[in-house]
Structure 1
Amino acid sequence: MSAPTDLPTSGAAVGSAAEVLARCAELDLYSSHPEHLERVYLSPEHAAVNRVVARWMTRAGLAPRQDAAGNQYGRREGREPGLPALLLGSHLDTVPDAGSYDGMLGVLMGIAVAERLGDRVDDLPFALEVVGFSDEEGTRFGKALLGSCAAAGTWDPAWWDLCDAGGMTLRTAFEEFGLDPRAVGTAARRPDELVGYLEAHIEQGPYLEEADASLGYVTTIAGARRFVLEVEGEARHAGGTPYDRRKDAMVGAAECITAIERMVRPSGCIATTGRIEARPGAVNVIAGHVEVSLDLRAPTDAARDAMWEDLEAELQRLCAARGLGLRVTETHRAPAMPCAPWLTDAVVSGIVGTGDTTPMGLWSRAGHDGMAVGAVTDVAMLFVRCHDGVSHHPDEDVREIDVARGLDAFEAAVLEVAAKVAAS
């Protein structure tokens, strides 16, 4: 898909669900791939989408700016200049072969809410800001949440040496994009600059649809740990080695994988073994070394860590019984991010206002920018139903009625936060 030089107007009512969905479709045009949607950090498509979103922010009465990490902001002052801001937003980057709504829907809903509020923003006890974070997915450099980490002041200088698939470092990509790596610290927000952060996002799961509910609220964002499990056996001839002499790392790894599902499935946690690699990898050689990835998530760090302790003990036992070795390397750890009760109450109140008197609370099994932003301010999230729970795929889909209810709830949540801040 090649992007046009400018975007057409949708013809839909200002601030409506139809307009939000039309804008999502327009952003699909900004892709680095001719046949599917892919928009990565510090790419020409990233720059183009920031420009388009800045124009939409301007129409909504927000003053646009791009920060030192490439995040796109828009701000409108409240009842007096310089007040802390309530931040609405999500991300504008995508995975490869993406759908149209993961991230983008939340940014465009934030802009629509700002437009719907109009001059009422001038009476709010805080400024209103909308942000399109630049790199939630981590598609290009393999490190997620780069944009929101910069905003949270948790940027790690070691990331400058990260490379993309073409060998370009993050530092060089910054410079080619027109950003100054030395200035990335200026993207950091201070706690006294923010009232809180509200994010609208598709659920990326099937639970709202199963309950026939348009909207839900998030209780916590999953705490995740990732590991590489290396099963060590002995590579020998596939025909000449009898079973009682085999140390087959592939069979041991398969037993570990099924044990992981067996143990985790009833626990309330969730685990995925998404990648497996065997060496030497020949059809007529017993695998001597197998690497398996493990992604483990849970609503709380305590539940996740307890599950891992049980898993590791069982995997070690299984491998030892087969005469295999097991080496474990942790590659990633992210703490769970509980949503702030006072902000969540505002989101719940907004959902109730749409007619759902018993909103569903869900823990987010997927990661979100709120995980990073929570280091600097309180966060809460609104989930919007998506068809069959499909995400990170072109079949991502949402209904206009659900987005319309989401806009009503999101706008009401902003006003409820305003009432709470004014009363405090």
Structure 2
Amino acid sequence: MSFGPCWDMLVYMTEATDNPIHGARAKARCDALGVPPYSDQKDGLFRPYLGPAHHATLGCIAQWMDEAGMSVEIDAVGNIVGHYAGIPADAPVLLLGSHVDSVRDGGRYDGMLGVMLGIETVAFFHAQGRRFPFAIEVIGFGDEEGSRFSTYMMGSRSAAGLEQEIDDTIRDSEGITLHRALADWGLSVQRFGTARRQNVLAYLEAHIEQAPHLERAARPLGLVRGIASQYRYRVTFTGLADHAGTAMGERRDALAAAAEAIVSIEAVGAAGPDDLVTTVGVLQVENGAPNVVPGQVVMTMDIRAVTPGAREAAAGEIRSMLDALSRKRQVTVQVERIQDLQGALCDETLNRMLGEAIVETTGEEPPLLLSQAGHDAMVMARCAPMSMLFIRCAGGISHNPAESVTVSDVEAAFDTLTRVIEKFGEDR
């Protein structure tokens, strides 16, 4: 496997910045991994789980982990893990990480920046010959986005030791089964349990903020208080396909019912606590035509909240609304829940340490933020205390080629991570 194109770009980009090196290099490496062969898309970034670009990317990451003083493994679910031993050799583990996969037409820093910062942090201590009473591991999760298969967070779920039911029929858009894709990498669902990380003291994740709060506050870094729980549904409205000349009072219009439902779903989100959000992201009209009253419409519905019980209350209110709408418009409404992600609150002790490190780095108290986006951290909270560091992203734009961070902000995140690791060592 050749690393030439990636490394040549890094030399050019890092030489252009004398200091600070760690923030510049972390950003440059993300940029280098944003083009083929580290993308399966010629004119943008698309790095799906277990695809060719994923494979090529792990080759680069493995090289950089090795140069940073880590031993490297690819676990049974396709996560890449770098291990920097502590003293003693069997010391417990402080885990740093994020994901390496991307959505189609994604940005270069979502997920990947957290992995690169983890490597830079270990490289910093390795260059000084420093070890701690705990090991440091950097993990790059393989399947956070679910952009290839109808799965989600298989990497972190396996690392956290959670059992997963994998449907034998799961296929990608080209008809390749998940089992086949795993087998091509020498992996299998039966071995997912071996990917569980052992003896984890804590998990820290650095990630771009996928909202504009830090930019509006003119702050480089933020401290995350919690990550929203998520429900995702497939909602099917079935009325009666009929001629467009049918009298208005005689119609069973599935699209009109869906339109009314969308407005009501938005209203439920707007009326709830500030951390409640409701979204309809996909709307499909079956066999639609200009001269046909739509007979069936399928849409997705996403409900997220951090406040305990807010997601569940909103889901109940929306279900009642859909039942009433069904009767009113004489259509049937089928609601299928297709995803249930449990959110998590960040650990108070870790947040105190991380907050102190941010103040020491920036000279300012960090904004305390909520994450409406899902992260591997919410899963890893099931096995260890967890905290997250947000990095300012221009306009809060994410999952988009327009993602943009500055070297100085990334360097501030690097300084914060090294400080918090040192604080962690003092407490051991």
Q: Which residue of 2 aligns with 1:296?
A: 303
| Contact 1:79–1:124 (CA under 8 A) maintained in structure 2 | yes
1:394 aligns with one of 396, 401, 404 = 401
Q: Which residue of 1 aligns with 2:237?
A: 231
**Count of residues in correspondence between the two structures:** 417
Matched, 1:77 2:85: yes
Matched, 1:104 2:147: no
- Within a 5 Å distance, the mapping from 1:17-416 to structure 2 comes to 17-29=23-35, 30-118=38-126, 122-190=130-198, 193-239=199-245, 241-267=246-272, 268=274, 269-416=276-423
Give the SS at the match of 1:294: strand
Query: Take 2:185 and 2:263, find their aligned partners in 1: how far apart are those partners?
Result: 45
CA RMSD of aligned residues (A): 1.9
Query: Take 1:186 and 1:60, find their aligned partners in 2: how far apart are those partners?
Result: 25
Over the matched positions of the two proteins, sequence identity in percent amounts to 37
TM-score, scaled relative to structure 1 = 0.93
Shift, 1:6, TM fit: 5.4
Shift, 1:232, TM fit: 2.6
| Contact 1:271–1:294 (CA under 8 A) maintained in structure 2 | yes
Q: Single out whichever of 227-236 and 342-351 deviates more from structure 2.
A: 227-236
Shift, 1:393, TM fit: 0.7
Give the SS at the match of 1:225: strand
Per the alignment, do residues 236 and 275 of structure 1 end up closer, same or farther by CA in structure 2, a change over 3 Å counting?
same
Shift, 1:292, TM fit: 1.7
Show structure 2 runs of 5+ residues with no match: none
| Contact 2:87–2:131 (CA under 8 A) maintained in structure 1 | yes
Query: Take 2:324 and 2:363, find their aligned partners in 1: how far apart are those partners?
Result: 49
Query: Take 1:161 and 1:340, find their aligned partners in 2: how far apart are those partners?
Result: 38
Query: Take 1:262 and 1:324, find their aligned partners in 2: how far apart are those partners?
Result: 21
Query: Take 2:358 and 2:81, find their aligned partners in 1: how far apart are those partners?
Result: 26
The residue type paired with residue 254 of structure 2 is A
Query: Take 1:288 and 1:157, find their aligned partners in 2: how far apart are those partners?
Result: 34
The residue type paired with residue 119 of structure 2 is I
Give the SS at the match of 2:242: coil
Q: Single out whichever of 73-82 and 311-320 deviates more from structure 2.
A: 311-320
TM-score, scaled relative to structure 2 = 0.92
Deviations for 1:169-195, whole angstroms, at most 9, x for unmatched residues? 1111111123344433211123xx111
| Contact 1:79–1:121 (CA under 8 A) maintained in structure 2 | no
Shift, 1:303, TM fit: 0.9
| Contact 1:346–1:414 (CA under 8 A) maintained in structure 2 | no
Give the SS at the match of 2:181: helix
The residue type paired with residue 149 of structure 1 is R
Q: Which residue of 2 aligns with 1:7?
A: 7
Give the SS at the match of 1:158: coil
Structure 1 stretches of 4+ moved >6 Å: none
Give the SS at the match of 2:72: strand
Q: Single out whichever of 315-324 and 33-42 deviates more from structure 2.
A: 315-324
Shift, 1:123, TM fit: 3.9
Give the SS at the match of 1:175: helix
Shift, 1:44, TM fit: 2.2
The residue type paired with residue 304 of structure 2 is R
Deviations for 1:344-379, whole angstroms, at most 9, x for unmatched residues? 112111111123432111111111111221221111
Shift, 1:279, TM fit: 2.9
Shift, 1:319, TM fit: 3.4
Give the SS at the match of 2:290: coil
Query: Take 2:185 and 2:309, find their aligned partners in 1: how far apart are those partners?
Result: 41
Deviations for 1:80-100, whole angstroms, at most 9, x for unmatched residues? 111111001111111111111
Show structure 1 runs of 5+ residues with no match: none
Query: Take 2:409 and 2:399, find their aligned partners in 1: how far apart are those partners?
Result: 19
Give the SS at the match of 1:42: coil
Per the alignment, do residues 3 and 56 of structure 1 end up closer, same or farther by CA in structure 2, a change over 3 Å counting?
closer
Query: Take 1:186 and 1:15, find their aligned partners in 2: how far apart are those partners?
Result: 36
Query: Take 1:156 and 1:4, find their aligned partners in 2: how far apart are those partners?
Result: 38
